[in-house]
Amino acid sequence: MPPSTLGFVDQGTAEGADFAPDIDLGRRHRVVVIGSGFGGLFATQALKRAEVEVTLIDRTTHHLFQPLLYQVATGILSEGEISPSIREILRRQRNARVQLGEVTGIDLVGRTVTSTVLGETAVTPYDSLIVAAGSSQSYFGNDQLARFAPGMKSIDDALELRGRIFMAFEMAELVEDEAERNRLMTFVVVGAGPTGVEMAGQISELSRRTLRQDFRRIDPRRAGVILLDAAPSVLGSFGDRLGAKAQARLDEIGVEVQLGAKVVGMDGEGIEVEDEDGRRRRIESVCKVWAAGVSASGLGALMAEQCDVGLDRAGRVKVQPDLTLPGHPEVFVVGDMIALAGMPGVAQVAIQGGRHAARQIIARLAGRPYGEPFEYHDKGSMATISRFSAVASVGRVRVSGLIAWLIWLGVHLFYLIGFKHRVTTLMHWAVSFIGRGRSERTITQQQIFAREAIEALGKGFSPTLSPGEREDPLT
């Protein structure tokens, strides 16, 4: 089989003699990685010793540790602790360069990636491509809900939510009308998966522990925290036993769990739900959080238009077992963007997928067999509910309470990038979990006077869903 123009043979196993390394082209093999999340960053680092040039393109300047976003939103951690600079992380990796830009185009035939930032467009050629652009919040086709109930996928989202949560207490302290005060002091989290459970637990602890002495006219401990889900259980993926334990603990810390409750409408001042018996009701609440669904990056659809690959309902790419696109052994898709054998959208799938893609590229360049199927090793999952309380499922072992919380603490510290981030995170955790404080309660003037915040507080323009949109339950 003859080598392709860029040095790869077109079959799953490279025969040494057929392989023409790019060195013959007078340059190193170019790997472009899209996304500096778990998949992209770990893929880049796994290529550290390879004879390649890596260009890592991301629309942000940081690597985001998404599992701790809820702690930024509730004032425990600063945004810097969970989002170290990519340039700093890769400063010693001489074969890697970082390029800021939103990827808007991938040309699978011409082998280029187009990215843009502030009107500057770059076209970056590649020999191998690793696409790890993750996912975004899904409102199931009702994107206008984002203004009433922000999701949690980025630093901007977490800071927006922090502003809304603390502002709700500030406004409650000011208003005279009791109904309005109650509306401001009722927090609704939609989605009882790990993110929703963690968020609801932290808002509850914030109101009952941290803020309890800070106000004069309101008693923050009386704030209502409601966790809603259309599903019949909390933390469904953890199994019945851990789900029940989590629900009992949520109850203890004052979170009201409402299951079998579908969101059918929303506006600046409340949320409408339909219960299992078909009855509809309204919860008056200014501050709402969306933790209900995700859809994969639109880059998957962009690639699907150019090759024979399908997408699932969440827009994830139905990749080949080795994570490549059919007919494109040089293009890998990893992490939240893939639909493969029911693999979940978790950090470990992205980390292991990124490393797998890097290994395949190295094997091809070395003329070794490549195209190995990706094997995911499930290292378990966990979710915190409150301080000193978590649930963890590792293999056949199911633990809850303090032991699970200590496992959670160790794992999160281990995967946080950078020694200094680990040290300051530990200090902030001590402040919040041993003490009652929260070190990061700042909200900016810009946030206070932002149009969206004013709308969310029910002041002025606050559109509701149109009647047609209300027909479809959202969760």
Active site residues: 198
Spatial separation of the C-alpha atoms in residues 353 and 374, rounded to whole Å: 7
Amino acid at 38: F
Closest approach of Cβ 438 to ligand FAD, in Å? Answer: 18
Distance CA 380, CA 120 (A): 42
- Work out the angle at residue 231's Cα, subtended by the Cα atoms of residues 228 and 234, and round it to the nearest 5 degrees: 70
We find the least distance from the C-beta atom of residue 35 to ligand FAD, in angstroms, to be 3
Q: Which residue is nearest to ligand FAD (CB)?
A: 37
Using the minimum distance from each CB to ligand FAD, give the nearer residue, 38 or 370.
38
* Shortest reach from residue 374's CB to ligand FAD, in Å: 13
Residue closer to ligand FAD (CB basis): 195 or 432: 195
CA distances from 331 to 8, 114, 258 (A): 12, 15, 44
163 class by beta-carbon count within 10 Å (0-12 exposed, 13-18 middle, 19+ buried): buried
Please say which residue, 51 or 378, places its beta carbon nearer to ligand FAD: 378
Q: Is the Cβ of residue 255 or residue 346 nearer to ligand FAD in the bound state?
A: 346
Sole residue written with tokens 């808007």: 104
- Min dist. Cβ of residue 194 to ligand FAD (A): 5
> Rounded to the nearest whole angstrom, what is the least distance from the CB of residue 100 to ligand FAD in the complex?
9
Nearer to ligand FAD, 115 or 207 (CB): 115
Contacts of 460 (CB under 8 A, 6+ apart): 454
Q: Closer CB to ligand FAD, residue 74 or residue 265?
A: 74
Q: Are 158 and 291 in contact (CB under 8 A)?
A: no
Q: Would you say 364 and 358 are in contact if contact means Cβ atoms under 8 Å apart?
A: no
Interaction site with ligand FAD (CB under 6 A): 34-40, 57-60, 64, 66-67, 69, 102-103, 132-134, 152-153, 194-195, 297, 299, 335-336, 345-348, 350
The least CB distance from residue 320 to ligand FAD, in Å, is: 17
Enumerate the β-bridge partners of residue 218: none
